[in-house]
Structure 1
Amino acid sequence: MSDDNKFPPENNFPAGYVPPKVWEDTSSGGAFASINKPTAGAQFERELPVGKHPHQLYSLATPNGVKVGIMLEELLAAGHSDAEYDAWLIKINEGDQFGSGFVDINPNSKIPAMMDHAPKGGGEPVRLFESGSILFYLAEKFGAFLPTDVRKRAETMNWAFWQMGAAPYLGGGFGHFYAYAPMKIKYAIDRFSMEVKRQLDVLDKQLANNEFIAGDEYTIADILIFPWYGRLVEGGAYESGEFLQVHSYENVVRWMKMIDARPAVKRGKMVNKAMGDKATQLHERHDASDFETKTQDKLEVAE
């Protein structure tokens, strides 16, 4: 049976569409069409700023970006003073991630990216990209939020990798087709809604018998998962709370509220934030006092 008989083109969207033998780049529109290209590499020359602290974070407070801000603030709150950092705003909607300096750190041109200018053992600075890799690196460097017990460590890493593999279904799948695509496609929304609800059920069942994601300890698994699924069950992600009936995942909601109440999490959510309430936007972070004195509302009043 030919594909045309199995999937008649008149049922495609748009009606009559048949994929060509060779794909060509024709912009499909949508919220991020202007910065999406099928090629990699720097598009212009631009050096990145470097501050005074060992860790230089280049990011934006998207779910993936928030993870690193939370991790660094948690390390500082736990007494690791040498985890100090400078956080620089990368405006992805303006294409900052395609500057040569950023691409030197992350050839994939995605936030977050970080440089460690004081790596454990000394030597040349270490470049870091991919949020899971950054959190694992920091956890190992400081011996924090990653258990040393072999079974607890393995369980933490199970959930860390689960998040890195699962989130694209939530963000690039459900979020894109539900909120950002230039047209509503029922099949796509149904497909990714089903997967996101399945993921929420996975978390809900895990949290039914565990205080934290990986057991009885707060770990990088919680920090990685919270910005995506915590925000989702809070109802803020894509304004989809009612659509997905997120309140029904009671264990995830309980866990979300517990994590969200942590002072370091509240600060981390502000780092490199450039949207929403200006009192919670800290475009750049160079000192602990910045949370009190340099939020966007205060800076605008000073002007």
Structure 2
Amino acid sequence: MTTIEHISRFLIQCGDASAVDALRIWLFPLSLSRLAFAWFSSLPANSIITWADLEKQFHKYFFAGVHEMKITELMAVKQRNDEPVTNYIQRFRDIKSRCFSLSLSDSQLAELTFQGLLPHIRERFSSHEFESLSHLAQRLAYVDVRAPVQTRTTFQKRLNFAGDSSDSENEAEIGLAEWTKNREPVLCPFAKKQKEKYGFNITKADQIFDLLLQEGQIKLYANHTIPSATKLKNLKYCKWHNAVSHSTNKCIVFCKEIQSAIEAGRIKFGTPKKPMKIDGHPFPTYMVEVSDHGAKTGLKLLTSE
């Protein structure tokens, strides 16, 4: 039996307890015998802190020539259509267990798994943070994997990405910017001015994007570069999708992202303090005519009250 098979059987036997890393570490010695148990007993004190540490040490010591997976293969794991989230996460864990030399934190693994979810699930939970794979599995265990029925034909329109000449009709609508984590709420001056669907001025979506990018609330993917106005030549351009099929102000997906951020407290609206301006003389003025008996004309003096 390979180390991968042993760990897979152990996790199945643990049942619900396998979702808690501390319980995995505590129960794992019970699955060992003879040389394997002797190896575990000889581990230095405090050499195992997390389940990832234990799994890595176990594979390293008893590795039996099984093909080692690379991080590129792990990144290629994607959730299939109609595949439950729990099944997808388990597939991800199976591949990860064969990446023996991979060193990622629990939050990094959770983020990598999250990026492989179906687009509509990622969009729904884009403002959430997940501490580990177990946390992600618990929060998304009962999420409906079916894509919502679209009532507007504009959602079905294929995006023409800038510089993309592909004629494939199977391209998915993918956002090429993402929210950053652990940032303070940003003060946004574009509050709601009229009765509308969103709690902000949707005609300012383009400027809100620039503000969020400037304040570090969102970041662009490595292959996303916003073209200059000269290069666009008055074409409609969406900064969120890096697409020329619509403008940022008309991007329904980005407007929903802003609305979700507002509801989550990531964006707060306020009016910047305006500096005091003096348009004229700071005091009320009066014209007073003073007569001089020795002069032919009177003098007019500008005085204040």
TM-score category by the smaller chain? under 0.3
TM-score by length of 1: 0.22
TM normalised by structure 2 equals: 0.22
